[in-house]
Amino acid sequence: MKKMKSLKSLLFAFFFLTVMQASGAETTAEKVDTKVNEAMDSATEGVHKIQDKTCETINGKMECVGKTMKHKMKDGGNKVKTKAKEIKNKVD
């Protein structure tokens, strides 16, 4: 009877530790995902700035206003999505 209790205790402890490690790995993965999203947002924003400057240099400022505004709206949207994912991961 003592062996059964010991075995049950051991299995419970193993299960508990396994679950704790899985949740810790998930949190780390979520943190990494957030950093990757932030890096992608920064890279996309940099590309958009280069495209905007190139367009202004070649075509003139007035012809590129629409593209510049579109890029700024996309960059803002990407930042909002990234922040929303970060908040969702913190809540979970």
Three-point CA angle 44, 50, 56, nearest 5°: 135
Query: Which pLDDT belongs to residue 12?
Result: 61
Best CA proximity match to 81, nearest among 73, 70, 91, 92: 73
Looking at residue 26, what is its pLDDT? 57
More confident residue, 18 or 82: 82
Long-range residue pairs from 64-73, CB within 8 A, at least 24 positions apart, any chain: 72/48
pLDDT at 68: 94
pTM over 0.85: no
Reported as a single tens digit per residue, the pLDDT across 19-77 is: 554 454 457 888 888 889 999 999 999 999 999 999 999 999 899 999 999 999 999 99
For tokens 């590129």, name the residue: 64
Q: Compute φ and ψ for 11, nearest 5 degrees.
A: -65, -40
